[in-house]
Chain A
Amino acid sequence: MTTMVKSAPSMLRRVSTSRSRAWTEVVVWCGVLVLAVVGSFLVGPASAAIDIVGRPLAPPSPEHIFGLDAYGMDVAVRVASAARLDIGVAVAAGLVVFVIAYPVALATGFWNTWWTKLILRLLDVFQSFPSIVLALTVVALTGNGAGNLIAASAFVFAPVFVRTVRSVVLSVREQVFVESALAAGVPPIRTLIRHVVPHTIGAAMAQTTIAVSRTIILVAGLSFIGVGIQPPTPEWGSMVQTGVAPTLNGAWWVALFPGIAIVATVMIFDRIGTLLGTLSLEAER
């Protein structure tokens, strides 16, 4: 009889080099983010970020590498100091989304009863609103503290999370091995945990990082409008807002550096999300 066993060691070897490269990259980026947050604490106490240290709108110089803003505050110190708030709020929102929306996605994907349909319809309604408008509404009604921002962001991004992860749950649910487990008598909850979760958690984690990076943009936007983090507390979005008028007159550094900070952080989180996504896909093979 022709045996076609792929020799186990060589297969594992082939798989693990590309996977370990991906994991290494994930770790590296996470390290960068941790450094940014740690750095934001090291840069000085909160008061340092709102000290007036010189002439307003002074251009970048060796002492103040990002220049000074319209109030005379050091842009570099403020950009660094804002990291903990921007990243912290976003990560917290992501965790909230994961903890609440992942079980909802599992339940609505696995079962198809009147209450799962109801939940989905409700989520549909919320999803049809632009995130900024929805978040704006929630924040306007609850106040603009960091906690409310986290809750508003989680609220805004949960529907998309549920939709996307649910579709993965649905396709896993259709797999024969899930039906095989149910037909063999494995109780539904156990089937869900043992067979469905391992095949969907990768997508869930990828979606969580997406929620995190979207939150950064959302919170920055809200602060830009003026309903997020209030100045003078340093936050990248409100810093861009205070930088608009100066930019029209040539003081480009006030808005540019916080803008770059936003773009860079979002790109890092998106990259982590992409890597997690590919890793979870590969594990399926």
Chain B
Amino acid sequence: MSQLLEIRGLDVRRTGADTPIVHDVDIAVGRRRVVGIVGETGAGKTLTVRAVLGALPNGLQAATDSASFDGEPVANLTETMRGLRGQRIGVVVQDPLGALPPIQSVGTSLLTILRTHRPMPKARAVERIKTALLEVGLRDPDAVMKSRPHELSGGMAQRVVIAAAFMTDPDLIVADEPTTALDPTVQAQILALLKREILARDAGAIIITHDMGVVAQVCTDVVVLYQGTVREAGTVEQVLGDPQDPYTKELLAALPNPNAFGADVDEGVHADEADGTEATAVVEMRDIVKSYGRKKPAVLKGVDLRVPAGRTLAIVGESGAGKSTLVRALLKLIPIDSGSITFEGTDVSGLSQRQFRTSRRDLQVVYQNPTAALNPRLTVRALIEEPLRTFPETAPTAAERTARVEELIQAVRLDVTMLDRYPTQLSGGQKQRVAIARALATKPAVVVLDEPTASLDLSVRRHIVDLLARLQRETGVAYVLVSHDFHTVRSLAHDVVVLYRGEVAEAGPAGAVLRTPTHPYTQQLLDAELSMVPGESAAQLDRGSESLVGGH
């Protein structure tokens, strides 16, 4: 069987540059084969695929040793592919909401795409689109066609884009991070949909992703890309079952393991029974109610939570469940409608910002995106020092401050020479370490970790999580961890609170809640986390078809 698409020796370089950004990449896609191109950000995945599609931006050029589509050799990728895109090659993009022009209805956009490549009477085109929309699981195609792009949810928009990609009966599907922008619970459904459609039409596919879990779930072949070159390639069974290249192994090691709880968190595993001696709560929130605006439904409908000193409480739930609202209420960045917040034994609910300021010494934050959270104009030293200057009692003299700053930078395993650098000169992982050092500067009782690993590359996440665990052991700080990444949660959390639509669905010790959840929503969240063994999650995905989660 001839290959659907075969590219050998692909190079992508800036026009006029000597060194290529992508070098000597081979891609081969056959019918009923799904090729995953996997790598971290900056690996060159998108550039590679854009080159293959003939859609490189201005200023970039591609060159190949050989290229063929459906057995026919291709001389000029750009020209040939442009003619094939939209009809024989369907494209699924990362940002589905941005893909459709906001100036017209979804239906009009779809009609334009279809009738550009398959001229047909409008009535027949409309029928065909409606069928396509039903096939991707949208139950009310009329409503979808009439609506404007911004009225759809992320999941719905992606289904529309998939429908658009498949409606011309293409031979090849190219999907660029098709589920990254979606909620974890919707991701699984979309991936299953893609795989089903590809196989049903005997088409082939290329899927770009940074997540090995996605590869494990949907792909038949995989190409591992690192800094523009192929590190390893083969079938999924080969590469995931018996990886040869050290980088591939690194990527695989970063995958979630449902049974790998943090070593010292194992106490939680056995602590389904009450401990007897309860550690004193450093944070206690009771019956928190919060809504934005009188007419809108409450974002938090009476939430309780409790953080024992020196332990980690994880707050999990999908976006929109109220996690960030809850945490911002705790930090007193937003006011609450009712309820009480007790911090270190004192009721702080009614305090003004000025009154609360001194308490902030014991309540610090590490944010999701360290690039945004660190002022790019300050040196690392100035950044770590700022809390010490804000609360002079922690280090009254300049000498003490310097000493403490050096102590902190070493505690986060960075070299002292980093102190005089600027954040723009550091990698993502290093920046997050600086943010952690800064948060711990005043020896706070509690540090709020707001999705601390979400913006970091897979290979780095594990190290940051290990760092956080070690720091907790060394300093006895308590963590409030907000995360949708169960790997992080398992490694750090002693206790877990599951939020569902503004209410507590389930709460308890981490081992109990995450291994034997009682609430169906928790079960779905866990299922949505893709397993690394190929094919195992099929049962999970069937279970997920009637889902409680998201509006899709």
List residues of A whose CB falls within 8 A of some B CB.
Answer: 1-6, 8, 11, 175-177, 179-188, 190, 195, 198-199, 283-285
Contacts and interface: CB of A to CB of B under 8 A. Distances in A.
Contacts of A183: 331, 333, 360, 364-365
Contacts of B367: 176, 180
Contacts of A181: 375, 386
Contacts of A5: 421, 425-427, 430
A212 B333 CA distance: 40
A176 B333 contact: no
A129 B124 CA distance: 56
Contacts of A185: 357-358, 360-361, 387, 390-391
Interface residues of B, number: 33
Interface string B415-432: 000000100111101100
Nearest to B356: A185
Given A177-B372, A180-B373, A284-B376, A186 B427 contact: no
Contact of B429 (A1, A186, A188, A199): A1
A52 to B, nearest CB: 59
B463 interface: yes
Nearest to A15: B424
Contacts of B342: none
A185 B392 CA distance: 12
Nearest to B424: A285
B377 interface: yes
A187 B354 CA distance: 8
Contact of A3 (B357, B387, B421, B427): B427
B523 interface: no
A180 B365 CA distance: 7
B390 A177 contact: no
A190 B357 CA distance: 13
A283 B375 CA distance: 12
Contact of B463 (A1, A190, A195): A1
A187 B390 CA distance: 8
A184 B387 contact: yes
B460 interface: yes
A186 to B, nearest CB: 5
Given A179-B333, A181-B375, A187-B357, 16 more contacts: A1-B429, A1-B459, A2-B459, A3-B430, A176-B367, A176-B373, A177-B375, A180-B373, A183-B360, A183-B365, A184-B360, A184-B365, A184-B439, A185-B358, A185-B361, A185-B387
B505 to A, nearest CB: 28
Contacts of B430: 3, 5
B374 A186 contact: no
A190 B387 CA distance: 12
B369 interface: yes
A211 B49 CA distance: 49
Nearest to B420: A8
A89 B451 CA distance: 54
Contact of B372 (A2, A175, A186, A285): A175
Contacts of B361: 185
Contacts of B386: 181, 184, 186
A236 to B, nearest CB: 41
A177 B425 contact: no
Contact of B425 (A8, A179, A283, A284): A8
Interface string B368-396: 01001111110000000011001100000
A184 B390 contact: yes
A6 B425 CA distance: 6
Nearest to B429: A1
Interface in B456-478: 459-460, 463
A6 to B, nearest CB: 6
Nearest to A188: B353
A1 B460 contact: yes
Interface string B400-438: 000000000000000000000100111101100000001
A96 B59 CA distance: 46
18 contacts: A1-B463, A2-B427, A6-B425, A8-B425, A11-B424, A177-B375, A180-B373, A180-B374, A181-B375, A183-B360, A183-B364, A184-B360, A184-B438, A185-B358, A185-B387, A185-B390, A285-B376, A285-B424
Closest 6 CB pairs of A and B: A185-B360, A176-B372, A4-B427, A177-B375, A176-B373, A180-B373
A184 B389 CA distance: 11
Contacts of A182: 333
A118 B488 CA distance: 48
A198 B376 CA distance: 11
A267 to B, nearest CB: 31
B9 to A, nearest CB: 26
A196 to B, nearest CB: 10
A185 B394 CA distance: 13
Contacts of A3: 427, 430
Contacts of B387: 184-185
